[in-house]
Structure 1
Amino acid sequence: MVFDPEKIYSVTLGIIGGGQLGKMLAQKAKTMGLRVVVLDPTPLSPAGEVCDKQIVSDFFDLDGFLEIAGESDVLTYEFEHISASYLKELEDRGHIVRPSSNTLEIIQDKRRQKEFLESHDIPVTPFMGVDDLDGLKEAVKSLGIPAMLKTSKGGYDGKGNYLIEEDIEESLKRAYEELGGDKNSLYLENHIDFQMEVSVMAARNNKGEIVIYPVAHNIHHESILHTTTVPSSLPRSVVEKVKELSAEIMALYGDVGIFGIEYFVDQKDEVFVNEIAPRPHNSGHYTIEACDVSQFETHLRAILDLPLVNPTLLRPAVMVNLLGEKKGKPVAKGLGRALEIEGLSLHLYRKNETRPGRKMGHFTVTANTVADAKEKADKAFEVLRIIGE
C-alpha cells in the first residue's frame, strides 16, 4: 500500500506497545495529523494517555491483534517481545505491518539475528549457539573467558544475560540453569575488549531510500543505557565505517522503518554489530531536541511512504536515562533545580509505579560543545531523581 499524503487526516496508526517509545511515537503522530490506536496490557499506559484509543490486551492475544488491525491503516510496534506469528497472520489477512513480521521474527531471536548477519558477512561479536550444558562447555573452550551467556529471546536491559568468569563446571552449570537452558535457546558471546559502545539510528522507506543519523556514544550502567552522547569522539574513518555498515544492514533486511543498531568498537578500531532493534531506540531520544527531524518522525515518514530527509545534528547533545529508585508512586526529586539548567529538556513517562532500574524518564541537554553538554548533564543528574513513595 502507498499512502496519499493529502489523505493523511484519514489515516489511523496502530502501535503495538504502550511504553515510552510508543508514547513519543504517538505524540509525533498526533502533530502530523494521524489518528492513533495503541495496544498494551496496562490500562492508561504512557502511550495510552496520549493516543485516541487504547486496546487493553496482551501481546500474545490474537483477538487483540485483530482488533487493533481492524482499526488501523498501518501497524507498527515499539518493542520486540510480541507475537511475530500473529503479525504474520495479520499480513496474510491483508493488513500492513511495518517493519514486517519476517524481520521481527529474525531480530527478536538474537541468536538467529547474529547467524543471519554472519551469513551475510556482517561483522558480529564472536558467538556460539548453546543447546545443552556440554555445548556450553565446548563454547567456553572455543571462545574463552570472560564470556556472556545470553538467552536468544526475551532479554533486555541486562535481563537474560549471565557473565561467565570461571571455566569450572560448577560455574557453567549455575549459568546454564540460571538462564533456563533446558527450556530456552542460548548462545555464548565472546567478551570484546572494546574502547566504545556506539549506536546508529538508520531508516529505510519503500523506495529503498536510506538515511543514517549521527554515530552516538553510549555508556551503560549494569547493562542499562545510562548516557548517549553525540557526536561521538571516534575518528572520522571509524564513523564512516559504522555508517556504511548501517546502510548495508538496512539494505540487507530490505524493510521499512527505523532501526536502532548497536556496535562495539575495539581497541584496534574494528567494528562489530552487537544488537539490532527494528524500531525507535532509547539511544535515539536525543534526536527530538538535537536534530532537525527526530527518530520518531523519520519512522513515521518511512512507514507511511512519505519522503525521507537526511537528518542534521543541530547541536551536540547528551541524553541521560532516569531510572526508578525504590518502589512506589513516582516522585521527581530535584525537578526545579534541574530545570534551571540551560539547554535541558525533560521527558517523564508517567508510569504509575517506580521501582529500582525501571526507566521512568530521560533528559537531553544540548549545548555548543560536547564538553559543555556533558558538564550540564552531570549537574542535572546529581540533583534529579525519580523515587517511589
Structure 2
Amino acid sequence: MIIEKGKSIGILGGGQLGKMLCESAIKKGYKTIILDPGKDVCAALVAQKHILGPYNDRESILELSKISDVITYEFENVTSESIDVIENNGGYIPQGIKPLFISQHRFREKSKIKDLGIKTANFKIINVENSFDKGINEIGYPCILKTCTGGYDGKGQWIIKTKEDKEKVEKELKEEFRKREYILEEMIDFKCELSCFVVKSTDKSVAIFPVAENIHKNSILHLTIVPARVSKEVTDKIKKISEKIINGLDFVGPLAIEYFYGKDGEIYVNEIAPRPHNSFHYTMDACDNSQFDIQIDAICGKKIKDPKLLKNVVMLNILGQDVKKIEKISLNKNEILHIYEKGENKFNRKMGHLNIVGNNVEDLIIRANEIYNK
C-alpha cells in the first residue's frame, strides 16, 4: 500500500525519536499524530495532534487507528495487545507485532539470530537459581547477566568476572531468579563496537546505511564515528549480515543492529532494535537521507535505496549534565547541534546530539572530545 502526501502518519511514542520521525514526515508532506501518556513529551511540539493516553489504553489506540492512514512506533516496548487492537480494528501498522515480539526478549532475540546461522556470543537462559550455576559452568568467566526484558544503557546488566562477582550477583538476585528470566552471555573480547541500520519497505526494497563505530561511556553511547575505522571487508560483511537478518526475520520497517568486532576477527551480533537508533542520528547531517526519512518512506510503501554518505562525521551524544556546557560553546558551521527539548536536564538522560561533519575523521574525533571536555 502506498501512502500519498497529505495522509496521516500515527506514531506510538512521543520521545525524541518520535519527534524526529514527525519532522521527517512533515517535511515529506504528511500529517502526524502521536500517542503518548506524557503531557510534555517533545514530539508534541511538532506533531499536529497528540493523543494523551497510555499505550495499552484501548480507546486511545482506537482513536489513533481511526485517524491514521499508517502507524509506526518509535520504541520497542509497545505491548502486543496494542498492536492487536490496531490490526483488529482497521488500523494499518505494516511492521506488525513480529519485530516487537522478537526484540522484546533477549533470549528469543539471540535464538532467532542464531537460527539464521549468524554468530552471537554464547548464551544461556537463566530462570531459576540452579540454572545460574549451570550457566556459569558452561559459559565461564568473564560473562554478563542481563534481564531478558527491559533494561537499557547498562541498566538490568551485571558483569561477572570472578567467582566473587558471581556470588555477589547471586545474593542480590536470589529471589528475583524465581520471578523473571535472565540471559547469561559470554563476554566478547572486541576491537570495537559497530552498528548498522537497515530498512525494508512494504514494497520489499531494502536500504542499508553506512556502518557506524560506537564508543560508550558508562554503558551509554558517547561517540559515533562514520565511516567506521575498520576495513571495507568488515563493513561489507556487516551489511550482508544485516540484510540477511531483516530478510530472514521477515521484518518490515527499520532495524538497528549492534555488533562486536572481535579481536579474533569474528563479527558477533549483540542486539537488535526495530526502530530509529541513537547511533544513526549522524544521518541527519551527513547523508542525503536520514534514518527517519527512510523509515517514513518505507512504511508509506515507497521504493527505498541505500543512502549516500555526503561527509565524514562524528556524533557526540549530549546527556543532561552536558547540555548547559555545550550550549555555551561557540560552534563552527560544520558543527550542528540538535537539542530535543525534553524538559528537565536529568543526569545521564539523552537530551540532544552534536554532529560534526568534515573530511578527516581523526580531526573530528579530536574536536568532539575537545568540546566534551571543556
User: How does the TM-score come out when normalised to structure 1?
Assistant: 0.92
The aligned counterpart of 2:356 is 365
Q: CA offsets per residue over residues 158-184 of structure 1, 9 Å max, x none?
A: 111111223256324135349x33222
Q: What residue identity is the alignment partner of 2:77?
A: H
Q: CA offsets per residue over residues 320-379 of structure 1, 9 Å max, x none?
A: 1111129xxxx623424242x341010111111122111111111001111122122122
- Measure how far apart 1:190 and its partner are: 0.7
The aligned counterpart of 1:158 is 154
Q: What residue identity is the alignment partner of 1:21?
A: L
The aligned counterpart of 2:337 is 346
Q: In the aligned structure 2, how far is the partner of 1:181 from the partner of 1:67? A: 40
- Measure how far apart 1:80 and its partner are: 0.8
Q: In the aligned structure 1, how far is the partner of 2:172 from the partner of 2:143? A: 11
Partner of 1:239, secondary structure, is: helix
Do residues 78 (structure 1) and 69 (structure 2) align?
A: no
- Measure how far apart 1:143 and its partner are: 0.6
Alignment counterpart, residue 14 of structure 1, candidates 10, 18, 24: 10
Q: CA offsets per residue over residues 198-249 of structure 1, 9 Å max, x none?
A: 0011011122211111110001111111111000111121111111100101
Q: CA RMSD in A?
A: 1.6
Q: In the aligned structure 2, how far is the partner of 1:135 from the partner of 1:175? A: 16
Q: In the aligned structure 1, how far is the partner of 2:32 from the partner of 2:308? A: 28
Check conservation: 2:255, 2:275, Cα contact below 8 A. yes
Do residues 3 (structure 1) and 2 (structure 2) align?
A: yes
The aligned counterpart of 2:321 is 325
The aligned counterpart of 1:171 is 168
The aligned counterpart of 2:258 is 262
Q: In the aligned structure 2, how far is the partner of 1:117 from the partner of 1:74? A: 28
The aligned counterpart of 1:381 is 372
Check conservation: 1:85, 1:101, Cα contact below 8 A. no
Q: What residue identity is the alignment partner of 1:185?
A: E
Within 5 A, what are the aligned runs for 1:16-55?
A: 16-55=12-51
The aligned counterpart of 2:295 is 299
- Measure how far apart 1:20 and its partner are: 0.7
Q: CA offsets per residue over residues 9-36 of structure 1, 9 Å max, x none?
A: 1x11111111111111111111111110
Check conservation: 2:9, 2:31, Cα contact below 8 A. yes
The aligned counterpart of 1:386 is none
Do residues 91 (structure 1) and 87 (structure 2) align?
A: yes
Partner of 2:42, secondary structure, is: coil
Q: In the aligned structure 1, how far is the partner of 2:326 from the partner of 2:215? A: 23
Check conservation: 1:343, 1:367, Cα contact below 8 A. yes
| Pair 1:172–1:160, CA change in 2 (3 A) | closer
The aligned counterpart of 2:205 is 209
Within 5 A, what are the aligned runs for 1:174-185?
A: 174-177=171-174, 180-185=176-181
Do residues 337 (structure 1) and 329 (structure 2) align?
A: yes
Check conservation: 1:149, 1:175, Cα contact below 8 A. no
Q: In the aligned structure 2, how far is the partner of 1:338 from the partner of 1:78? A: 32
Partner of 1:97, secondary structure, is: coil
Check conservation: 2:77, 2:100, Cα contact below 8 A. no
Partner of 2:373, secondary structure, is: helix
Do residues 121 (structure 1) and 120 (structure 2) align?
A: no
Q: Percent identity?
A: 36
Do residues 286 (structure 1) and 285 (structure 2) align?
A: no
| Pair 1:60–1:182, CA change in 2 (3 A) | farther
Q: In the aligned structure 2, how far is the partner of 1:41 from the partner of 1:130? A: 33
Q: In the aligned structure 1, how far is the partner of 2:155 from the partner of 2:93? A: 28
Q: In the aligned structure 1, how far is the partner of 2:357 from the partner of 2:141? A: 40
Q: In the aligned structure 2, how far is the partner of 1:170 from the partner of 1:309? A: 51
Unaligned runs of 5+ in 1: 384-389
Q: In the aligned structure 2, how far is the partner of 1:21 from the partner of 1:65? A: 19
- Name which of structure 1's ranges 259-268 and 84-93 shifts more when overlaid on structure 2: 84-93
- Name which of structure 1's ranges 263-272 and 99-108 shifts more when overlaid on structure 2: 99-108
Do residues 133 (structure 1) and 124 (structure 2) align?
A: no
- Name which of structure 1's ranges 44-53 and 163-172 shifts more when overlaid on structure 2: 163-172
User: How does the TM-score come out when normalised to structure 2?
Assistant: 0.96
Higher relative contact order (CA 8 A, sep 6+): 2
Check conservation: 2:194, 2:259, Cα contact below 8 A. yes
Check conservation: 1:210, 1:250, Cα contact below 8 A. no
Q: In the aligned structure 2, how far is the partner of 1:41 from the partner of 1:134? A: 40
Q: What residue identity is the alignment partner of 1:333?
A: K
Partner of 1:24, secondary structure, is: helix
- Name which of structure 1's ranges 248-257 and 129-138 shifts more when overlaid on structure 2: 248-257
Query: Which consecutive aligned stretches of 4+ in structure 1 deviate over 4 angstroms post-superposition?
Result: none
Alignment counterpart, residue 189 of structure 2, candidates 182, 187, 193: 193
Q: In the aligned structure 2, how far is the partner of 1:176 from the partner of 1:275? A: 23
